Amino acid sequence: MKFMRFERDGAEFYGAIDGNFVKRIEGDIFGAYDVTGDKYPLSEVKALAPVSPPNVIAICLNYSSHAGESGSALPERPVIFIKATTSVIAHEGIIRLPAPAPDEVDYEAELCIVIGKTAKNVSEADALDYVLGYTCGNDVSARDCQRRLDAQWARGKSFDTFCPIGPYIVTDVADPQNLDIKSRVNGKVMQSSNTRNMIFSVRHLISYCSHNMTLLPGTIIMTGTPEGVGFAQDPPVFLRSGDVVEIEVEGVGVLRNTVAEEA
Ligand code: MG
């Protein structure tokens, strides 16, 4: 199943992808629902972020290659930070270069877990039972705030539009630890890795996070990014107005966003 959330005629719906169409859903995708016979061409609906998350939990340094390019030691346990939910935008939404920090805005390709039911103190063995599905995410980051100006990351990771997710929630991912993951800027591949290279697995991250905070339905866990981010390039590559950023996760989809200055 591929879920999407969309807007049509001013109203919001969930739907199930069926070829080039989306079938409208009645009910709650986190509970009981029906896929109706009402369907619309994908070209005639506006994609919304696939979930309006109660929390966006992000993991820093979950690929050793990215820890290396960041000059950071490998973590002994997952290091968690939070992105403001007001930073969430949809597939084809616009990433705005924030007026207070427009110069060092960077991309991070990430596999996102979408939690399906309330999880607290769950074991690694049971962890995948709490997953509704997966989507693509871009952990957009203002590196000047994150790395030099601020003592912690909340601002640099949470400017409005800094959390593109989508386009779909894909439920039938056989093995979340064997997915190619890429980012492209203006068509050029910047990151190319596989989720098998994660330091802490999807199962471990869900279990670990659930022992530290309650994971509500719709919670997004961004699982970290591989090597190839912009600040680690020589010379650095930061996002500029007009750039097109794509995050692709094998079998999950392609998330595409354009960059513009703050309105
Ligand atoms: Mg990240």
For residue 66, what pLDDT band results from cuts at 50, 70 and 90?
confident
For residue 104, what pLDDT band results from cuts at 50, 70 and 90?
very high
What lies within 8 Å, CB to CB, of 216 at 6+ separation is 54, 55, 115, 118
Closest by Cα among 59, 79, 17 to 226: 59
Report yes or no on whether pTM surpasses 0.95: yes
pLDDT above 90: percentage of residues in the chain: 94
The full length of the chain comes to 263
Ligand 1 centroid distance, CA of 101 (Å): 18
For residue 71, what pLDDT band results from cuts at 50, 70 and 90?
confident
For residue 68, what pLDDT band results from cuts at 50, 70 and 90?
confident
CB-neighbour burial class of residue 23 (10 A; exposed 0-12, middle 13-18, buried 19+): middle
Ligand 1 centroid distance, CA of 161 (Å): 15
Per-residue pLDDT averaged across 4-16, rounded? 95
Ligand 1 centroid distance, CA of 165 (Å): 13
Per-residue pLDDT averaged across 48-59, rounded? 98
Ligand 1 centroid distance, CA of 85 (Å): 15
Query: E strands along the chain, which residues?
Result: 2-8, 11-18, 21-27, 33-41, 46-48, 56-60, 79-83, 88-89, 94-97, 105-106, 109-115, 131-138, 141-142, 163-170, 180-185, 188-194, 220-222, 244-249, 253-261
Q: What is the mean pLDDT of the chain?
A: 96
pLDDT at 67 over 80: no
Distance (Å) of CA 114 to CA 120, 166, 221: 15, 11, 7
Ligand 1 centroid distance, CA of 97 (Å): 18
List pLDDT tens digits, range 84-102. Answer: 999 999 999 999 999 999 9
Q: Which residue has the higher pLDDT, 114 or 151?
A: 114
Ligand 1 centroid distance, CA of 197 (Å): 15
pLDDT of residue 65: 86
